[in-house]
Amino acid sequence: MSHRSLEQIDHRPYSLPTGRWRFDQVWSELAFLHWPVSTRWLRTRVPLGLEIDEFDGTAWIGVVPFRLRIRLRGLPAIPRVQVFPELNVRTYVTAGGRPGVWFFSLDAPSPLAIWAARRWFHLPYFRARFEVREQPATSGDGAGWIHYHSTRLEGDSAEFGVRYRPTGPLVLASPGTLDHFLTERYCLYSADPAGMLYRADVHHAPWPLQAGEAEIATNTITAPLGLELEGAPRVAFSRRVDVATWPLESLASGR
């Protein structure tokens, strides 16, 4: 069975996995919000088996609100279970020459999705309450704002409230640019409770990006990490990508 994202693969930094993709996803109305962060600070919070990536000597932490649609390959979609908002906190790492993403936290409202992601991907998901709405654009005011608010309901208290929108034309980030470094990554890394490291490959077309603006009302989403994000973030917006996701593979397998 094909996946629409697999029609374009030349932009990948390494070849597609040989196995079958397992999950069909759509990521939409994303805001990539990024702040520079100390590599030394990250090193104490990222497993030693992963190399922390820097761009021109600077490491970055991202907060990414978006909408997610996910379904298991071959099964029909269940809207109330498989379509929901999500918020993740991430940084950028490499193992075995494959640049990817390390997640510090992922907040979502779906108990089933949280259970599955913890079990199948060893990802640090937390249950949260969300309020999301898109405000229509007014005449002469550009694109409409997306209002997004997340309140964590388990674990340490964490909250994030923002409104964001695109402000520029659609572009594809060029290799060697910061936007390319922050977005064009085709795997995630995770660790199980015993500390074993894993990688899951993903594939999608190159990110269709737009410059954006964001106004943050509440931001304690990194407080459980002992980090306060100060100043305005770097902002990029993407309307949608279609994603194929493969299951986890242990890094110990040498894949």
112 phi and psi angles, rounded to 5 deg: -65, -45
Please check the confidence at residue 225 and state whether its pLDDT lies above 50: yes
Per-residue tokens: 65: 């609100």
pLDDT given for residue 72 in this prediction: 83
pLDDT given for residue 143 in this prediction: 84
pLDDT given for residue 77 in this prediction: 61
If pLDDT is split at 50, 70 and 90, which confidence band does 238 have?
very high
Contacts of 211 (CB under 8 A, 6+ apart): 166, 167, 168, 235, 236, 237
Mean pLDDT of 193-217: 97
pLDDT given for residue 139 in this prediction: 60
Q: Kindly report the number of other CB atoms within 10 A of residue 163's CB atom.
A: 19
Mean pLDDT of 33-38: 98
Spell out where the chain has E strands.
23-37, 51-52, 59-72, 83-95, 98-108, 125-134, 146-152, 159-166, 171-172, 187-191, 197-203, 208-219, 234-245, 249-250
Contacts of 184 (CB under 8 A, 6+ apart): 11, 13, 173, 175, 206, 207
Mean pLDDT of 3-10: 85
Per-residue tokens: 189: 């890394």
Give the CA angle between residues 191, 194, 196 to the nearest 5°.
45
Comparing 248 with 82, the larger pLDDT belongs to 248
- Please choose, from the candidates 30, 22, 154, 164, the residue with its C-alpha nearest in 3D space to the C-alpha of residue 85: 30
Q: How high does pLDDT run on average in the chain?
A: 93
Residues 81-134 have pLDDT tens digits of 578 999 999 999 999 999 999 999 999 999 988 998 999 999 999 999 999 999
pLDDT given for residue 1 in this prediction: 43
Residues 55-78 have pLDDT tens digits of 999 999 999 999 999 888 876 665
